[in-house]
Amino acid sequence: MGFATNKLLACLVLVMGIAGMMALHAQETPDVLYLKSGEVIEGKVIGTLPNGAVNFKFSQGTLPYPRNTIQKIELAERPELAKAQDAAAAGDNEQVIQILTPLVDKFLGFQSPWVGQAAGELASALAETGKTFKAVELAKEISRLYPDLPIGTILEANILLTQDKTDEALIKLNSIKESLPVKTTPNVREMQLLGSYHFSLARALEQQQKHAQALENYFIVSAVYPHPKKRANQAQKKADALLAAHSGLMVP
pLDDT score of 188 = 74
Task: Calculate the alpha carbon distances from 225 to 44, 144, 201 in Å.
Answer: 34, 26, 14
How many degrees, rounded to 5, is the angle at CA 70 between CA 69 and CA 73? 165
Q: From first to last of its 252 residues, what are the pLDDT tens digits of the chain?
A: 444 445 444 444 344 444 443 443 444 789 999 999 999 999 999 989 999 899 999 888 999 999 999 999 999 999 999 899 888 878 899 999 999 999 999 999 998 878 988 998 899 889 888 898 899 899 889 888 887 778 888 988 988 888 899 999 999 999 999 989 887 788 777 888 899 999 999 999 999 999 999 999 999 999 999 877 778 888 999 999 999 999 888 888
pLDDT score of 20 = 42
The DSSP code for 150 is T
pLDDT score of 18 = 42
pLDDT score of 231 = 84
pTM over 0.85: no
H/E run at residue 48:
strand 40-48
The DSSP code for 93 is H
pLDDT score of 120 = 86
pLDDT score of 170 = 97
Beta-bridged to residue 40, according to DSSP, are 34
Alpha-carbon distance of 174 to 169, in angstroms, equals 9
pLDDT score of 191 = 84
Task: Calculate the alpha carbon distances from 198 to 106, 147, 191, 195 in Å.
Answer: 30, 19, 10, 5
pLDDT score of 162 = 81
Number of H helices, E strands in the chain: 10, 5
